[in-house]
Amino acid sequence: MGLVPMADILEKANDEYYAVGGFNINNMEFLQGIIWAAEETNSPLILQASEGAIKYIGMDYVINMVKAAVRDTHIPVALHLDHGSSYEVIMRCIREGFSSVMYDGSKYPFKQNIRLTKEVVKAAHSVGVTVEAELGKIGGTEDDVDVDEKDAKFTKPEEAEEFVEKTGVDALAIAIGTAHGVYKGDPELDFDRLEKINSSLNMPLVLHGASGVPDEDVRKAVSMGINKVNVNTAFQQAFTAKIKELFDKDPELYDPRKYCGPARDAISEAVKEKIEILGSKNRA
């Protein structure tokens, strides 16, 4: 089928009140485990790569592995840059064939975030590529980016409307109490804030840091207007737990296929569970 713009996937999700997973790829096993699960459940899919993952895997490998993965697929798949930090990185991803990019200007003051995001939107939209932006600041750790709890900032509903109107973004990542990485306790989501943001913006909203958020809270957020849910850590944990389990049973294991294969299956199982929760099953 080839890659599709993320906007097409999210527009349908927004119209029909479900969410699609923005699932991070860290290596080939992640890519296969994720796409096989989405195909089996007949779900649309957003494969995303962070700058750290692109550095680790290599841009050529990311693009060509994903192209191989989608060549014969029957489900709509977007390839999305997660947390793009600069115009240059974003332009490179667009040139290489990403169908969607996130520009994360959340570390800048409001007006500067608007100005920088707008430049990205102009360039991306001219070639049919979708743009996600972030307003407020999501805490936690992802790759080398560490946002201390005290620096995390919730999205202000009154700013969200102005931000979207001035930038023209297709999807907005909002900060309502989630964080990237492993939580110390259960996160507390600010559903009132979500309701306010969603009532003023009829557009796809994105929940980052969904690993470790209780399933009922994810379901509730989806029912209140979240259309893209990002998960990375939970699948990393599933992958690593399976490898640990196998080495505990047999410390002499040496063939990577004997532990990476089952770990890939563990990712698939975890992805299928998330797809059920998000409601994207049979929406391809």
Judged by the rule CB under 6 A, the positions of this chain that interact with ligand 13P are: 24, 82-83, 142, 180-181, 208-211, 230-234
Angstrom distance (rounded) from CA 282 to CA 78: 17
Based on CB atoms, which residue is closest to ligand 13P, 53 or 72? 53
Q: Minimum Å distance from CB 117 to ligand 13P? A: 16
Angstrom distance (rounded) from CA 211 to CA 234: 5
Based on CB atoms, which residue is closest to ligand 13P, 26 or 41? 26
Q: Which of 8, 15, 60, 82 is catalytic?
A: 82
Which residues touch 164 (CB under 8 Å, ≥6 apart)?
Answer: 172, 201, 203
Note whether 178 and 192 are within 8 A (CB). Answer: no
For residues 164, 169, 175 and 180, what is the CA-based torsion angle, rounded to 10 degrees?
-170
Which residues touch 123 (CB under 8 Å, ≥6 apart)?
Answer: 87, 90, 91, 94
Note whether 122 and 112 are within 8 A (CB). Answer: no
Based on CB atoms, which residue is closest to ligand 13P, 33 or 209? 209
Note whether 246 and 36 are within 8 A (CB). Answer: no
Q: Minimum Å distance from CB 230 to ligand 13P? A: 3
CA 154 to chain centre: 19
Q: Minimum Å distance from CB 86 to ligand 13P? A: 17
Q: Minimum Å distance from CB 74 to ligand 13P? A: 26
Angstrom distance (rounded) from CA 207 to CA 222: 9
Based on CB atoms, which residue is closest to ligand 13P, 89 or 252? 89
Would you state the structure tokens that stand for residue 195, as one six-digit string? 């309701």
Angstrom distance (rounded) from CA 45 to CA 266: 18
Active site residue 215: no
Would you state the structure tokens that stand for residue 168, as one six-digit string? 């023209």
Based on CB atoms, which residue is closest to ligand 13P, 133 or 210? 210
Q: Minimum Å distance from CB 142 to ligand 13P? A: 6
Active site residues per annotation: 82
